[in-house]
Amino acid sequence: MIALAGSAWALLAAGCAAAAVCWLPVPRTASVRLRDARAGVPHDDDWRPSGTLVIALVVAALEQGASIPTALRTVGACCGPACASAFADVAGALEQGMPWNDAWSVAAVLVDEPDTRGLAAVLHTLADALRSPWHDGSAAVPRLRAAAEQLDALERMRIERAASALSVRLLLPMGLCFLPAFLCIAVVPTIMSFAQG
pLDDT tens digits along 71-85: 999 888 888 777 888
Percent of the residues in the chain that have a pLDDT greater than 70, as a whole number: 71
Angle at 94 between CA 83 and CA 91, to 5 degrees: 25
Q: Give the residue with greater pLDDT, 38 vs 170.
A: 170
Q: Tell whether the model's pLDDT for residue 180 goes beyond 60.
A: yes
Nearest to 87, CA basis, from 95, 21, 157? 95
Domains of the chain in start order, with CATH, are 30-156 (1.20.81)
pLDDT at 151: 86
Beta carbons of 101 and 72 less than 8 angstroms apart: no
* Tens digit of each residue's pLDDT (9 = 90 or more) over 94-120: 889 888 888 888 776 655 554 555 778
Q: Tell whether the model's pLDDT for residue 178 goes beyond 60.
A: yes
Contacts of 30 (CB under 8 A, 6+ apart): 49, 53, 57, 78, 79
